[in-house]
Amino acid sequence: MLDDDQYPAALLAKLLEEAQEAQSAPAEDLLPELADVLEVLRALVAAQGMGWDELLSLAARKRAERGGFAYRIFLEFVDQAC
Query: Which pLDDT band, with edges at 50, 70 and 90, does 81 fall under?
Result: confident
Residue 28 CA to residue 49 CA, distance in Å, equals: 34
In a domain, residue 80? The reply is: no
In a domain, residue 81? The reply is: no
In a domain, residue 76? The reply is: no
The region, left, alpha or beta by phi > 0 then psi within -120 to 50, assigned to residue 26 is beta
Q: pLDDT tens across 12-28, in order? A: 999 999 999 999 999 99
Number of structural domains, the chain?
1
In a domain, residue 10? The reply is: yes
In a domain, residue 30? The reply is: yes
Q: What is the pLDDT at residue 77? A: 86
Q: pLDDT tens across 35-52, in order? A: 999 999 999 999 999 999
Query: Which pLDDT band, with edges at 50, 70 and 90, does 82 fall under?
Result: low
Residue 36's domain comprises 6-66
Q: Per 3-state DSSP, what percentage of the chain is helix, strand, and coil (rounded to 5)?
A: 65, 0, 35
Q: What angle do CA 42, 45, 49 make, to 5 degrees?
A: 135
**pTM of this structure:** 0.84
